């Protein structure tokens, strides 16, 4: 924590985000591709679904009262006057003693109030014999039974599920108004970096943060853009921070050293609201604004970069995208296998693994060991006022994996 005269608390950084970040404006998108998007306004239906009473079984449209007393000992004859298939209709009317053959999904002909299934009938030449009775309304799906006209189907802020876009299609919604996805420019700095996709060589290291940040931004509803690695000098960094984006993520050079340009740029041309946070890792994180853009300064060390993203940048991106600030991780509570120490005065982001249903903190060399986060099942956040937890204490573990896309059963075991 050398170098920072003073460090803000995680709570102060969260408060700055809460005060400054609002959902973006709305845009109209094709309802068909709106799964995962957040509705900007309520959606009401202006139609009934279905628009007509329909047969729910293959059988005969009849008047239920005509079948009264029918059984296999007392067959009741009907004259079959026609047939209706799904998508068709008939001018014929069901009158006493008459029936119309219908297939599932076909409109129920006028005059009928029930559908007698085929298996409750026998055939006798042109006639149908009913062998069972049924109450009025039986096997008929009523108009508006699925969705009635004027119903509020979805409230604003709902994140659409795949079945929701199916429902939108069923009411004939071509477009929906959703919160715009934030455009996120990833500015990765470091003269020692090789672009992702290359093999490490000489004294250079491959940029691990771009692919990681792109995946995180996409997960949180943003549109990432990373056109290339930016040289460690003021001019290139400033130029790249002035991107046409809602959020700028600057990876690397976020601290107070000679090569750490981004904080000074932000202080000079915009606002450096928070610089230095009482947490580990990621203490050299920062945030502020450059004109309309939100800027997050992420330390270059990959674990710090992940942690600072998840604590601050991801939170802001989710809020902009209309998703709310909550962690995007499912969490479970489980006992610690051994004690977890933390220093009072800072928040700790401790990577952990599950061992036989217990939580094992991962001993790591530091913020540079990104693979520790791949070995981990999740992380525990130790608050600033805590000096950690003793063995067997119950802790809340945020799971890196998406719900049930991995070892959730094992994690949830205790
Ligand atoms: P910095 O925050 O720029 O001082 O970088 C801290 C450490 O993280 C240095 O060892 C860098 O080489 C390393 N580092 C910086 N950026 C990246 C990156 N994009 N991918 C992997 N390591 C990085
Ligand atoms: Mg650097």
> Residues 131, 167: one domain?
no
Residue 372: C-alpha distances to residues 25, 29, 75, 151, 262 (Å): 38, 40, 76, 50, 27
User: Does the residue 397 lie in any domain?
Assistant: yes
Distance 244 CA to ligand 2 centre (A): 24
Choosing from 320, 354, 380, the residue where a domain stops is 320
> Residues 295, 196: one domain?
yes
CATH number of the domain encompassing residue 205: 3.40.980.10
User: Does the residue 19 lie in any domain?
Assistant: yes
User: Does the residue 5 lie in any domain?
Assistant: no
> Residues 301, 399: one domain?
no
Distance 314 CA to ligand 2 centre (A): 21
**Which residue is closest in CA terms to ligand 1's atom 16?**
300
DSSP 3-state of 19: helix
pLDDT tens per residue, the chain (414 residues)? 457 989 999 999 999 999 999 999 999 999 999 999 999 999 999 999 999 999 999 999 999 999 999 999 999 999 999 999 999 999 999 999 999 999 999 999 999 999 999 999 999 998 999 999 999 999 999 999 999 999 999 999 999 999 999 999 999 999 999 999 999 999 999 999 999 999 999 999 999 999 999 999 999 999 999 999 999 999 999 999 999 999 999 999 999 999 999 999 999 999 999 999 999 999 999 999 999 999 999 999 999 999 999 999 999 999 999 999 999 999 999 999 999 999 999 999 999 999 999 999 997 657 778 898 999 999 999 999 999 999 999 999 999 996 543 344 444 433
Distance 195 CA to ligand 1 centre (A): 13
> Residues 186, 119: one domain?
no
> Residues 313, 346: one domain?
no
CATH number of the domain encompassing residue 101: 2.170.190.11
> Residues 174, 195: one domain?
no
> Residues 310, 223: one domain?
yes
> Residues 200, 137: one domain?
no
**Which residue is closest in CA terms to ligand 1's atom 3?**
252
Show the CA angle centred on residue 306, arms to residues 229 and 322, nearest 5°. Answer: 95
Domain total of the chain: 4
3 state SS for 346-368: CEEEEEEEEECCEEEECCCCCCC
C-alpha 156/C-alpha 79 separation (Å) is 53
DSSP class per residue in 268-282: HHSEEEEE-BSEES-
Choosing from 131, 159, 179, the residue where a domain stops is 179
221 is in which domain, residue-wise?
10-24+181-320
CATH number of the domain encompassing residue 40: 3.90.105.10
Pocket of ligand 1 (CB under 6 A): 188, 190, 192-193, 205, 207-209, 251-254, 299-302
> Residues 162, 241: one domain?
no
C-alpha 305/C-alpha 215 separation (Å) is 13
Show the CA angle centred on residue 26, arms to residues 153 and 326, nearest 5°. Answer: 75
> Residues 20, 117: one domain?
no
> Residues 90, 110: one domain?
yes
> Residues 341, 297: one domain?
no
User: Does the residue 4 lie in any domain?
Assistant: no
């Amino acid at each position: 924590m050398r170098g920072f005269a003073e460090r803000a608390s995680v709570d102060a950084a969260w408060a700055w985000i809460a005060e400054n970040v609002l959902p973006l404006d709305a845009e109209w998108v094709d309802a068909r591709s709106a799964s995962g998007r957040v509705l900007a306004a309520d959606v009401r239906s202006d139609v009934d679904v279905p628009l007509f009473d329909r047969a729910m079984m293959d059988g005969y449209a009849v008047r239920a009262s005509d079948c009264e007393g029918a059984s296999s000992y007392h067959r009741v004859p009907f004259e079959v006057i026609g047939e209706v298939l799904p998508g068709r209709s008939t001018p014929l009317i069901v009158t006493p003693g008459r029936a119309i053959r219908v297939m599932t999904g076909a409109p129920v002909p006028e005059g009928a109030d029930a559908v007698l299934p085929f298996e409750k009938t026998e055939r006798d030449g042109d006639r149908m014999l009913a062998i069972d009775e049924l109450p009025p309304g039986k096997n008929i799906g009523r108009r508006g039974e699925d969705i009635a006209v004027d119903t509020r189907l979805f409230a604003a802020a709902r994140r659409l599920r795949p079945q929701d876009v199916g429902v939108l299609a069923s009411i004939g919604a071509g477009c929906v108004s959703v919160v715009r996805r934030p455009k996120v420019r990833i500015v990765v700095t470091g003269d020692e970096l090789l672009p992702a996709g290359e093999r490490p060589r000489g004294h250079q290291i491959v940029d691990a943060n771009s692919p990681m940040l792109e995946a995180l931004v996409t997960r949180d509803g943003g549109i990432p853009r990373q056109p290339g690695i930016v040289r460690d000098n003021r001019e290139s960094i400033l130029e790249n921070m002035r991107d046409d984006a809602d959020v700028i993520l600057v990876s690397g050079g976020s601290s107070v050293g000679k090569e750490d340009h981004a904080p000074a740029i932000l202080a000079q041309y915009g606002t450096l609201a928070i610089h230095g946070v009482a947490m580990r890792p990621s203490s050299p994180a920062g945030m502020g604004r450059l004109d309309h853009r939100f800027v997050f300064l992420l330390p270059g060390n990959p674990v710090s970069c992940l942690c600072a993203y998840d604590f601050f940048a991801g939170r802001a991106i989710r809020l902009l995208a209309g998703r709310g600030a909550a962690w995007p991780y499912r969490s479970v509570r489980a006992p610690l296998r051994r004690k977890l120490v933390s220093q009072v005065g800072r928040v700790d982001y401790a990577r952990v693994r599950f061992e036989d249903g217990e939580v094992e903190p991962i001993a790591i060399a530091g913020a540079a060991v990104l693979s520790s986060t791949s070995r981990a099942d999740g992380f525990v956040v130790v608050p600033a006022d805590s000096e950690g937890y003793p063995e067997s204490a119950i802790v809340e573990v945020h799971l890196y994996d998406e719900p049930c896309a991995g070892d959730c059963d094992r994690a949830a075991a205790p």
